[in-house]
Homo-oligomer: A and B are copies of this chain.
């Protein structure tokens, strides 16, 4: 985490968990960063590293590659294949962000103007393609067909989830099952692959590979649900400055779905107007928050996130205590602590 990012980020007590994870994997993370810097280069197309650097240096948390590193460490992995896989995971994530920003017509990412705005959509689309290809080159270098299968499956599931998201926008008939499938695609699939490949590359027995995949998947589900909840200010429905983006875009997230399902005819007319028709006026966000609070939609959304986190922590029981297990356990706590 850069100093600037640390200053911006909320700092609950369990922020320490993230620092502990970074400290645990510090050496490996440095190797991952060096590998990323090396492989995002392009001798013949200088635009590529310019665009990538803009996003990479804005400094995401590197949460996904850290999950691969910690999973590999938990399984006693040596060598450098896990470093390559961590960089692979970050490249897939970065490529997805570049394409997401084009799809969402976003103007800001990580507190900076997006690449599609600074350069153009063309550069974002093609640089994303380049990073996808670089990701596959990196994982091929591990000589492990099983991790290639896991990560290419994840890439397909991610794209499928993103396309599902297009179809669910403004559609209150989405249903919880489709919402859960969509967030599995857009977020949990890469978390699951990130931890699973750490276990596979370490040659871990099957039950532990399953456990780490489950950990990543449930952590990812919790992470996305928390994100969706924070867009309405969390269970406390506090009106911070970043609240309401999803609302304004007519995104059908879990708080909306639950409030819609619990609503009477009058409530449904409200949701149809603001989400389906995106016919929104000044007091509508406050009214949406009130309705979400009254129906218990926000509290239920928080409960779901906490349940996924508990599942993630339970999955770690397959492993004996160790600093790596503790770090991963702390991350699961950290994800829901963003709500406090």
- Cβ contact within 8 Å between B158 and A133: yes
- Majority secondary structure of chain A interface residues (helix, strand, loop or mixed): helix
A256 to chain B, nearest CB (A): 20
Does A99 sit within 8 A of B, measured CB to CB?
Answer: yes
- Cβ contact within 8 Å between A140 and B149: yes
* Among candidates B45, B140, B156, B181, residue contacting A164 with C-beta atoms closer than 8 Å: B45
* Among candidates B48, B153, B164, B178, residue contacting A163 with C-beta atoms closer than 8 Å: B48
Q: How far is the CA of A103 from the CA of B178 in the complex (A)?
A: 31
Q: How far is the CA of A335 from the CA of B121 in the complex (A)?
A: 33
Does A132 sit within 8 A of B, measured CB to CB?
Answer: yes
Q: How far is the CA of A103 from the CA of B127 in the complex (A)?
A: 12
Interface string of A126-141 (1 = CB under 8 A from B): 1111101110110010
* Among candidates B103, B122, B132, B149, residue contacting A166 with C-beta atoms closer than 8 Å: B122
- Cβ contact within 8 Å between A132 and B132: yes
- Cβ contact within 8 Å between B152 and A45: no
Interface string of A179-203 (1 = CB under 8 A from B): 0010001000000000000000000
Interface string of A245-259 (1 = CB under 8 A from B): 000000000000000
A197 to chain B, nearest CB (A): 13
Q: How far is the CA of A127 from the CA of B145 in the complex (A)?
A: 25
Does A148 sit within 8 A of B, measured CB to CB?
Answer: yes
- Cβ contact within 8 Å between B132 and A163: no
Assign chain A's interface to a size class: 35 or more
Interface string of A150-163 (1 = CB under 8 A from B): 00110110111011
Does A47 sit within 8 A of B, measured CB to CB?
Answer: yes
Does A265 sit within 8 A of B, measured CB to CB?
Answer: no
Q: How far is the CA of A152 from the CA of B137 in the complex (A)?
A: 5
Does A241 sit within 8 A of B, measured CB to CB?
Answer: no
Does A42 sit within 8 A of B, measured CB to CB?
Answer: yes
Does A125 sit within 8 A of B, measured CB to CB?
Answer: yes
Does A143 sit within 8 A of B, measured CB to CB?
Answer: yes
Sample (24) of A-B pairs whose CB atoms are under 8 Å apart: A42-B163, A44-B164, A44-B181, A45-B160, A46-B167, A47-B166, A48-B159, A99-B129, A102-B121, A122-B166, A127-B159, A129-B132, A129-B162, A130-B156, A130-B159, A130-B160, A130-B163, A132-B132, A132-B155, A133-B156, A134-B156, A136-B136, A140-B149, A145-B145
Q: Which residues of A approach B to under 8 Å, CB–CB? A: 42, 44-48, 99, 102-103, 121-123, 125-130, 132-134, 136-137, 140, 143, 145, 148-149, 152-153, 155-156, 158-160, 162-164, 166-167, 178, 181, 185
Known A44-B185, A126-B163, A129-B162; 19 more pairs at CB < 8 Å: A42-B160, A42-B163, A44-B164, A45-B160, A45-B164, A45-B167, A46-B167, A99-B126, A99-B129, A126-B159, A126-B162, A127-B163, A133-B158, A134-B156, A136-B155, A137-B149, A137-B153, A137-B156, A140-B152
